[in-house]
Structure 1
Amino acid sequence: MRKVPQQARSRAMVERIVEAARIVLVRDGYESFTTNRVADEAEVSPGSLYQYFPDKSALVTVVMDRWSAEISDRVAASLAASGPVDVKDPGTVRAIADALLTAIEADAGLLRIVWEELPAVRHRAAQHALEQRVRELLAVYLAAAGATSVDPAARAWVIVMAVENVAVRWVLDQPPISREALLDEFSALAGGLGARSR
């Protein structure tokens, strides 16, 4: 079990260790990620690291939890800035897709580790937690739009799963498709969803 720091100095050390863990994870990959490399990067002794993180798994868990929260926060901020939600407007899905795309592009290196290197159990848990946060957020926005003919939870699931999976592959694979073309395709998808709800 991870020790929770109480003093400001200890909290600062933990922050330094977590940031170093993120750097090492992206730079070296999951297989080469070790607590000793993290301690070196953070410029702390392995003993100091072990006071707060008992093993590699505990460090990776904290990095993944923070990364998921950062993406959720970025999506929430983008949605709030985009104004009122209209489920029949393809521009709404474009804004949602743009928010998700911007959020996952912000740390493509860590995204690659999560999707391609983490053990399946850890990857699936992190992916599902993130999807659930974004779906819940989007469902609230859709419900606020007041469209009675649309089930906000179902619509949120479809939009998030479609956008997330395509956006992740676009960021990681870097196909010869421009960002604008990708967002146009998401808008076209939204047009199909909107037509169904009329």
Structure 2
Amino acid sequence: MRKQPQQRRSREMVERIVAAGRAVLAEEGYDACSTNRIATRAGVSPGSVYQYFPDKAAIVAAVIEGWSDETAERVAASLADRVGEPGGIGMVRATVEALLSALEADPELLRVVSEELPLAQHKERRTALERRVRELTATWLAVRPGASTATDPAVSAWVLVLALENLAVRWVLDSPPVPRERLVEELVALVTGYLSVSRPR
């Protein structure tokens, strides 16, 4: 449990420490990340770090919380902007693009989160991110029953969100010989084929 800052100076100090933690985590990995290295990166004493964070795990949790919120906001905003649109393929393409852009924004941190962090440390945030996007997807499917063959929007949303997330993450981290534009087309085809969303003639 970390101390919640009340004063502006304290909030700025916490933001500085979290930003330093994010940089150290992305550049050096989870095992090499330490409160001393974070303090050095932030230009503060270790004592200043411990005023707000009891340990490395608390700083990492704050970093993951911020990163998860950023990622979810970018994808959810794309979905929310298009929930009322009559067509399907435009919304699908925009969401795929938003997901890829969000994951590409910080591939080093994505690698640490996906491959190095103990699952217990980020499972709750990851689940919250996926749930937010799933709910918007399910809403979009529910308000246009004729746009797809999905009989249970919640189930279809779960399948789609996990499939897209995992494919997008592996593309960013593995750098396969698949151009981004081709990946977008393949993911759009995957989603529209699964949902049987009519493509414009």
TM-score by length of 1: 0.89
- Give structure 1 stretches of 5+ with no counterpart: none
**For the Cα contact (< 8 Å) 1:93–1:159, is it kept in 2?**
no
Distance 2:129 2:73 in 1: 11
The reply on whether 1:97 has 2:96 as its aligned counterpart is yes
Residue 162 of structure 2 aligns to which amino acid in structure 1?
M
8 Å CA contact 2:79–2:136 kept in 1: the answer is: no
2:156 matches 1:182: no
Alpha-carbon spacing, 1:86–1:108, altered in 2? closer, same or farther (3 Å) = farther
How far 1:73 moved relative to its partner? 0.7
Q: Which runs of 4+ in 1 moved over 3 A?
A: 80-87, 89-92, 123-126, 144-150
In 2: Cα distance, 1:147 partner to 1:13 partner = 52
1:7 matched to 2:11: no
Letter paired with 1:183: V
Q: Which moved more, 1:153-162 or 1:29-38?
A: 153-162
- Trace 1:106-185 onto structure 2 (pairs within 5 A): 106-147=105-146, 150=150, 151-185=152-186
Letter in 1 for 2:134: R
CA distance in 1, matches of 2:128, 2:195: 27
Query: 2:83 and 2:123 mapped to 1: Cα distance?
Result: 32
Contact map agreement 1:139 1:156 (CA 8 A) in 2: yes
1:125: how far off? 3.5
Q: Which whole-Å deviations, capped at 9, do the CAs of 1:150-194 have from their partners, x for residues lacking one?
A: 322112111111110000000000101011111111122123223
Structure with the bigger RCO (C-alpha within 8 Å, sep 6+) is: 1
Instruction: List runs of 5+ in structure 2 lacking aligned partners.
Output: none
Superposition pairs for residues 57-76 of structure 1, below 5 Å?
Answer: 57-76=57-76
DSSP-derived class of the 1:32 partner: coil
Q: TM-score scaled to structure 2, two decimals?
A: 0.88
Provide the aligned length of Structure 1 versus Structure 2: 196
